Amino acid sequence: MTEPLIISIDVMGGDFGPSVTLAGADMELKRRPEIRYELFGDEAVVKPVLDRYPTVKAASNFHHCEVTVAMDAKPSTALRHGRWKSSMWRSIEAVKEGRAAVAVSAGNTGALMAMSKFCLRTLPDIERPAIAAIWPTLKSDSIVLDVGATIGADAQQLIDFAVMGGAMARELFHKEVASVGLLNIGSEDVKGNEDVRTAGQILRETALGNLNYTGFVEGDDIGRGCVDVIVTEGFAGNIALKTAEGTAKQMTSFLKSSLSRTLLSRIGYLFARSAFVRLKEKMDPRKHNGGVFLGLNGIVIKSHGGTDALGFASALDLGYDMAQSDLVNKIETDLAHYYRERLGKSSVGSEKES
């Protein structure tokens, strides 16, 4: 009998805390009854809610934590005052100590990244981690990174993101080779800033058998699903992500308003109801909730802070898939392969020192 996969949860994270995180844990446990949880939070707040979910309670170890990281706390303050005692830190620490395969939190993004980087450390040659998000497209899902961890990125960091995103795409989408594009203001080689152009040139020149670099992609290409992975720095990536989420809500509101305006439109909705239900499910951000922190010695998933139980369950499900895929080792292998191909020797890191 195989050992159950263990997920550690920052129960206090997010706008709604245990009422959402535990409800999501219960939903995920129904889908995957083999998983187990390590739960971290304030006992006085968590226990009354946990008692309402006996299945989760039976499948979990609960750990009382004195500190909860506020959603508006500065990362430096959270790291200074929340280390060792907070539910966020201890959920990450469980991954470091091998007591959990993945940590999931809906808490403060900056604090979660700061603690994850401090606790787990980065992989060799990774200067800055990235947050990778799943993006629904006209064809199938794509991965976009970075969506908020690194504001500004040099050429080497963009290349690292491409390699890490490619490894994630191959595992998540079950592909032998992942196609990768760099987000730019045009598809021509002369477009974009120097770092983007340099990263594109190096990716074109480096033979990576499991990564197919296709060139530059523009903003309107993201939703078309033209590549498996779209690489950018965190400022542009976060704006693109929030714009897409806002546009989805806007379109839903427009449709709802239009379909209820007249008797004829309401009758038309009845005939097309199944199509609108499919559209709503495809555009539902809760189904794609969860950003993967890539580049760390462990797997951490960031759930949207304002999500509901279904959204948090989706983040747990993503964490399960990433842990099952042995993603960290595959990323480390791909990075080592890249540096060998790029430098023509096995020493990793020499390029950054030269």
Task: Look up residue 56 and give its amino acid.
Answer: V
For residue 299, name the pLDDT band (cuts at 50, 70, 90). Answer: very high
Given a cut of 60, whether residue 63 has pLDDT beyond it is yes
Phi, psi of 102 (to 5 degrees): -160, 145
For residue 214, name the pLDDT band (cuts at 50, 70, 90). Answer: very high
Closest CA to 94 of 124, 61, 55: 61
Helix axes 263-271, 234-259, angle to 10 degrees: 110
Mean per-residue pLDDT, 225-237 = 90
Mean per-residue pLDDT, 35-47 = 96
For residue 280, name the pLDDT band (cuts at 50, 70, 90). Answer: low
Lookup: tokens for 106:
């809906």
Given a cut of 90, whether residue 266 has pLDDT beyond it is no
Residue 236: partners with Cβ closer than 8 Å, 6 or more residues away = 183
Q: Which of 25-39, 78-92, 266-280 has the lowest mean pLDDT?
A: 266-280
Given a cut of 50, whether residue 350 has pLDDT beyond it is no
Residue 150: partners with Cβ closer than 8 Å, 6 or more residues away = 128, 129, 130, 157, 233, 234
Residues 109-164: tens digit of each pLDDT = 999 999 999 999 999 889 889 999 988 887 888 999 989 888 888 999 999 999 99
Q: What pLDDT was estimated at residue 278?
A: 66
Reported for 29-33, long-range contacts at CB under 8 A and 24+ positions apart, including other chains, are 29/55, 29/56, 29/59, 30/55, 31/313, 31/317, 32/317, 32/320
Residues 177-189: tens digit of each pLDDT = 999 999 998 877 7
Q: What pLDDT was estimated at residue 39?
A: 98
Given a cut of 60, whether residue 345 has pLDDT beyond it is no
Q: What pLDDT was estimated at residue 27?
A: 96
Task: Look up residue 320 and give its amino acid.
Answer: Y
Mean per-residue pLDDT over the chain, rounded: 87
Mean per-residue pLDDT, 31-49 = 96
For residue 238, name the pLDDT band (cuts at 50, 70, 90). Answer: confident
Instruction: Write down the pTM of the prediction.
Output: 0.87
Q: Give the pairing type, strands 211-217 and 229-231.
A: unpaired
For residue 167, name the pLDDT band (cuts at 50, 70, 90). Answer: very high
Closest CA to 146 of 113, 188, 178, 103: 113
- Residue 3 neighbours by CB distance under 10 Å: 8
- The CA distance from 131 to 250, in Å, is 25
Mean per-residue pLDDT, 264-283 = 66
Q: What pLDDT was estimated at residue 148?
A: 87
Reported for 56-62, long-range contacts at CB under 8 A and 24+ positions apart, including other chains, are 56/22, 56/25, 56/26, 56/29, 59/29, 59/35, 60/25, 60/36, 61/36, 61/37
Q: Give the pairing type, strands 178-183 and 229-231.
A: parallel
Q: What pLDDT was estimated at residue 277?
A: 64
Given a cut of 60, whether residue 1 has pLDDT beyond it is no
Q: What pLDDT was estimated at residue 354?
A: 42
Given a cut of 80, whether residue 90 has pLDDT beyond it is yes
Lookup: tokens for 239:
């704006």
Q: What pLDDT was estimated at residue 349?
A: 42
More confidently predicted of 263 and 354: 263
